[in-house]
């Protein structure tokens, strides 16, 4: 990755509003919804550093539509033209947006052109949480590159079962109980990035840190 690309990305991420959206607006919206009447409860959440993207989240939730959704950490994203979380292997070559060339079976990932510079095109990838089914196909694809896409339980949808069916089926023990007042998690790498930003008086990064769970 060239220094020039990194400079472009830093400029793009300098937008404070985008920092707040680092794990998607859906996360913070779900956080607020999850607070209603739940202050004394623990909540189920996925440790993104343990998740292996097995697909069980899409099929084992007791809800008709899984409460698990993909989120995007923009600070980890490479804004790649050849995105392995967006395209199938065939799609990487053609970069056609036909459904057959896209990893997501519900076309829940929205690809938006950001800028072209030094012969490189950069794209933003956001998640339509209403369309996302939590299948983790994009998560496994993105893991081949920067790993900015990962799964979280959305607490504006989760009914917080005593025994979560997805947690029982999880092959990597990625489901954990966290405090209801901080029911979302960042990847370890993203947590470090946010702490660095907060240390430089980035108020948006500090606000996000105040709302997510961290074991360290």
In a domain, 68, yes or no: yes
- pLDDT for 2 equals 43
| Distance (Å, whole) CA 61 – CA 127 | 20
Let me know if residue 20 belongs to a domain: no
Name the band, by pLDDT with cuts 50, 70 and 90, for residue 1: very low
Question: pLDDT per residue over 130-175, tens digit each?
Answer: 999 999 999 999 999 999 999 999 998 999 999 999 999 999 999 9
Residue 120 forms part of a structural domain:
yes
Domain that holds residue 77: 42-210
76-90: per-residue pLDDT in tens? 899 999 999 999 988
| The token pair that represents 154 in the structure block | 């959305």
The candidate with the shortest Cα–Cα distance to 182, out of 17, 47, 42, is 42
Number of domains within the chain? 1
Instruction: Report d(CA 7, CA 97) in Å as an integer.
Output: 28
Q: What is the model's pTM?
A: 0.83
Is 128 contained in some domain? yes
Calculate mean pLDDT across residues 201-214. 84
132 found inside a domain: yes
């Amino acid at each position: 990755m060239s220094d020039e690309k990194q400079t472009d990305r830093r400029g793009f991420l300098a937008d404070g509003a985008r920092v707040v959206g680092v794990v998607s607006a859906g996360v913070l919206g779900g956080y607020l919804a999850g607070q209603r009447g739940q202050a004394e409860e623990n909540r189920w959440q996925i440790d993104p550093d343990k998740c292996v993207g097995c697909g069980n989240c899409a099929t084992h939730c007791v809800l008709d539509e899984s409460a698990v959704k993909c989120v995007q950490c923009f600070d980890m994203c490479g804004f790649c033209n050849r995105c392995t979380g967006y395209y199938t292997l065939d799609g990487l070559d053609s970069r056609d947006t036909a459904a057959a060339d896209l990893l997501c079976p519900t076309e829940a990932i929205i690809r938006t052109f950001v800028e072209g510079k030094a012969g490189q095109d950069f794209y933003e990838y956001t998640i339509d949480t209403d369309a996302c089914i939590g299948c983790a196909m994009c998560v496994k694809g993105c893991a081949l590159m920067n790993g900015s896409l990962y799964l979280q339980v959305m607490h504006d949808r989760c009914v917080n079962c005593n025994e979560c069916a997805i947690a029982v089926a999880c092959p990597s023990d990625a489901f954990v109980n966290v405090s209801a007042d901080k029911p979302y998690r960042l990847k370890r790498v993203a947590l470090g990035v946010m702490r660095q930003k907060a240390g430089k008086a980035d108020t948006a990064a500090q606000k996000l840190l105040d709302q997510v769970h961290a074991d360290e």
